[in-house]
Amino acid sequence: MDTILVVNAGSSSVKFQVFAVDEPGGPQRLIKGQVDGVGSRPRLRAEAADKQSLIDQSFAPEEVKDVPAALEAAGAWLRETRKIEPIAVGHRVVHGGPKYDRPVLIDRDVVASLERYAALAPLHQPNNLAPIRTILALPAQTRLFLCHDYPGNRRAANAESSVAAQSKDNIHVGGDVGEAAFVAMRQARDATLATPRLILPALQVNIRGGRLPPPDADGVRYLRLPLDQLRADA
């Protein structure tokens, strides 16, 4: 049975669901679970589609000390006990900034872009990205999906990629590029970039969870720009 895994990592928990994708009528949820109390009182719980409990297990704090460890604990249980080997993984990210507002194919370039918006959700965005890095360490044949693909003029747009393809061909972190080289490259590149063109309108929607500002007294909704506070590159 082909399955997909959907993950939502927060500041102290990892929520996950497993769906069967070959069922009539579309994907059917098989498992819903979470690891909460990360770093303090870790506990893994999950239930089947009929609400039957599948696991309720506590861990010592040092066993699940952070979000990547929580993802690994949940993944180990899914693989070893439920025999789940998903063909694709999806992950929710709090802030996509002005560039990402729909599901997009994920690669290391997308992760690097999303890291720029960590300050908008410091308790969640880094923890959203940590499991994505863990996902990129999965077996080479693992298929990758998330939001948009921006091929530019280099190639045609793709609906999916793989860990192997990104490890081999990613222009930022493919091959033998290490963390220090990646950080140096990103810092040099980011220093040349202007403020994103739509950052101020996007912020006014993102901080409201995707909702537009409320109408003014005249019944019209406005996105406001502080003209006397902007830097020259904004």
Q: Which residues belong to the active site?
A: 149
Q: What is the per-residue DSSP string for 176-191?
A: T--HHHHHHHHHHHHT
Task: Report residue 174 as tokens.
Answer: 């493919």
Task: Report residue 225 as tokens.
Answer: 């720009």
Beta-sheet pairing, 3-9 with 14-20? antiparallel
CA 88 to chain centre: 13
Query: Helix or strand or coil: residue 23?
Result: coil
CA 150 to chain centre: 17
The CA distances from residue 197 to 43, 94, 188, in Å, are 43, 20, 20
Helix orientation angle between 67-80 and 125-136, rounded to the nearest 10 degrees: 40
CA distance between the termini of the chain:
50
Q: Exposed, middle or buried by CB within 10 Å (0-12, 13-18, 19+), for 47?
A: middle
